[in-house]
Amino acid sequence: MSWQAYVDNNLLGTGKISKAAILGQAGGVWASSPGYTLSADEQKAIVNAFNKPDEVLASGVRLAGQKFFTLQANDRSIYGKKQADGCILVKTKQAVLVAEYTAPVQAPEATPIVENLADYLISVGY
């Protein structure tokens, strides 16, 4: 399966995720939803955020120019909120899944979708 297919089918295809990208931990965008552009600085900050979760809790996270308030951060997952919308970032062995959801979708609906895809990618070495 291509990386784009994971974004299109496993994330956007659920109807719960509105925008998504898969970033390589070594750099670069492996796949993204149409029109969802993360700047080079944002990509670097996202990948590095998992090394310093306390800083992300204090400063928030920026995705495609939008700032999200960080609700939870650890060395695997970062969850953020911007008004009624939210974001889920999950680190795998080689990648970072970046997903946004928009109201009326809530975190308990969107989070398992991203976390389960991350678990699968980890299980197959990514």
pLDDT tens for residues 7-64? 999 999 999 999 999 999 999 999 999 999 999 999 999 999 999 999 999 999 999 9
Cis ω before 112 (30° cut-off from 0): no
Q: Give the 3-state secondary structure of residue 84.
A: coil
29 touches 43 (CB < 8 A): yes
* CA–CA distance, 38 with 51 (Å, rounded to integer): 19
